[in-house]
Structure 1
Amino acid sequence: MESIHIIIRDGFYIYEEYLVDEIGVNPIRNSVKRKKPKLYLQGIFVHYLMKELSESELFRNNFINNQKRLSNGRNNLHIVLQTTSIDLLDHNWNHRICEMVREKSEVDHILSWLSTLGGAYSALGDYFQECAEIAAKISANQFKLALRIGDPQIAARCRLYLALSLIQRKLFRQAKKIIYREYRQAVSDIVIDIRLLRMCKGIWAKLQYEHFLHVQEKQKSQASSERNHSMTETRRYI
C-alpha cells in the first residue's frame, strides 16, 4: 500500500506527524530518523492541505504518487510552517460579531429577569386583576425582545403568556384564538417543540376550566338575581 509520512514543524519544534495512505490520514508519534524533503507552507494552507487529504481519496492518492515522484521515491515529507503573509481576520466583521454576541447575552439576561417577574405576577393574576394586567405588559415586553433577537420559539411562548393573562381577565375568546393559532403553528413546524405543544395544551386546559367556573358563577349570579327579583315582586303584592 502506497503511503507517505508527513511531519509538520517549524524551525525548532515538530508539531504533528501523520501517515497518509490510501485508507486515510492517521496521526503517529514515532518520527523516522532520515533525511526528508521539505515543503514550506504558510500555516493556513497546511490546514487546508490536511483537510483535503482527509476528505478526498483521489487527492490523497495523487498527492502520494506526485510526492514520491518528486522526491525520488522517498516516503517522508517535512512541512515547514511559515509566517502567514496576509491578514486572515476580517476585523470589521469580528467587531460586528462581538457586538451581536454581547447584545444577545444582554437580551438573554433581560429575558430571564422578565420571565421571573412575569411568572410571579401571573401567579398572582388568578387572585388580583391588576397583577394579570401587569403580567400582560411584561409578556408584551418579552415579545419585543424575542422579535429583536429573532427567536420564534420565545416569541410563541410570549404570545401564550399573553393568552394566560387574557384568561385571568375573563377574555376567553381572544385567548382561544391565540392558543389555537400557536398550536397549529407548532404542529406544522419542521422541528416540533414538544415543550411548546405541552404549554399550548396546558393553557388550553386552564382556559376550559376557568371558562367553566365563569359560566357557573354567572349562572349562580343570574339565579340569585332572579330569586331576589321574585321575592321583591312577592313582597310588593303582599
Structure 2
Amino acid sequence: MTLTVCVSDYWQHRHYFNQQPANSPVRRLSLQLDAITANYLLRELLQQKVLAQKLQQNDGVELLWLALSPPERDTIDYKWGEMLRHTIWEHVEVEHLMSWLSTLGGGFSALGEQFERCAETAGKISLQQLTIGLRLGDPFLQARCKLYYSISLIQRGQLRQAKHLIRSQHRFALQFKEYDQRLMRMCLGIWLRLRFEYEERRSRRCRQSAGHSQ
C-alpha cells in the first residue's frame, strides 16, 4: 500500500498525493514544516520511495500530514534564475531574427514573381525560419513557414509539391482552426494562388496546342 501524503498550505487548502481509499481510520503522522523544507521532503517521498517505505514499515504510518508555514527567510534560486534569464534572452533574440527573416523573405518573395532566383532565395529563407520553428517547438510557426515555402514552389513552377504541402498544412489547420484563424486563411489564400497557376498552365498548353495545329 502506498503512503498517502497530504500538504496543507498557508490557506489550509489540502493537496493529496498517492491518495488511497480509506475504509477505516488510518494512522497519521503530522509535521509542521516551513515550505522550503516541506518541498524537499515531498520530493523525497514521491521520487525516491525509501523514506515512505520506512515510515510505513517501521512506524506504521499510512498518512503523512504536512502543514506548511512560511520560512523565516526567503531563498533565491540563482541557478533557476540564470536558466530563466538565458531562455528569455534566447526567445527575444529568436523573435527578433524571425522578424528580420520575415521582412527579407517577403521582399524576395515579391521579386520572385519576376525572377526565379529570388523565388529560390525566398524558399531558402522560409526553410531557415522552419528550422527556428522546430527549435522553438511551435507547430503553428512551423506550419506558416511551410506555407511560405509553398509560395516559393509555386513561383518556380513546382505545383505538385506545393499542392501536397498546402493540403497537409490545411489538414493541420482544420484541427486547430479555433486557435489560429490566420493559418486557415493562409491555406485558403495560397490554394487560390495555386489554382490560378494551374489555370494559367492549362491556358498556355491550350494556346500552344492550337498554334501547333495551325
1:127 aligns with 114
1:148 aligns with 135
Shift of 1:137: 0.2
2:84 aligns with 97
Select which of 165, 181, 186 maps to 1:199.
186
Equivalent-residue separation in structure 1 for 2:92 and 2:135 (angstroms):
13
2:159 aligns with 172
> Does 2:99 align with 1:112?
yes
Matched-pair contact (CA < 8 Å) for 1:139–1:162: yes
1:22 aligns with none
Equivalent-residue separation in structure 2 for 1:125 and 1:225 (angstroms):
31
Q: From the superposition, tell whether residues 181 and 100 of structure 1 become closer, same or farther in structure 2 (CA, over 3 Å).
A: same
Secondary structure, aligned partner of 1:88: coil
- AA in 2 matched with 1:200: C
Cα distance per residue 1:88-145 (max 9 Å; x no partner): 2221111111111000000000000000010111111111111110000000000001
Cα distance per residue 1:58-80 (max 9 Å; x no partner): xxxxxxxxxxxxxxxxxxxxxxx
Matched-pair contact (CA < 8 Å) for 2:119–2:155: yes
Matched-pair contact (CA < 8 Å) for 2:177–2:184: no
Select which of 106, 125, 132 maps to 1:138.
125
Secondary structure, aligned partner of 2:75: coil
Equivalent-residue separation in structure 1 for 2:202 and 2:182 (angstroms):
30
Shift of 1:225: 3.6
Rg larger in structure? 1
Select which of 133, 139, 147 maps to 1:160.
147
Shift of 1:219: 2.2
Using the size of structure 1 for normalisation, the TM-score is: 0.59
Give 1:1-238 correspondences, 5 Å limit. 49=10, 52=11, 85-189=72-176, 191-227=178-214
Unaligned runs of 5+ in 2: 1-8, 15-69
Shift of 1:207: 0.3
- AA in 1 matched with 2:76: L
Secondary structure, aligned partner of 1:206: helix
Shift of 1:205: 0.3
Q: From the superposition, tell whether residues 136 and 108 of structure 1 become closer, same or farther in structure 2 (CA, over 3 Å).
A: same
CA-based RMSD = 2.1
Unaligned runs of 5+ in 1: 1-47, 57-82, 228-238
Q: From the superposition, tell whether residues 206 and 190 of structure 1 become closer, same or farther in structure 2 (CA, over 3 Å).
A: closer
Shift of 1:85: 4.0
Equivalent-residue separation in structure 2 for 1:153 and 1:163 (angstroms):
15
- AA in 1 matched with 2:199: F
Shift of 1:226: 4.0
Using the size of structure 2 for normalisation, the TM-score is: 0.65
Secondary structure, aligned partner of 1:192: coil
Alignment: residue pair count: 151
Q: Structure 1 vs Structure 2: percent identity of aligned residues? A: 41
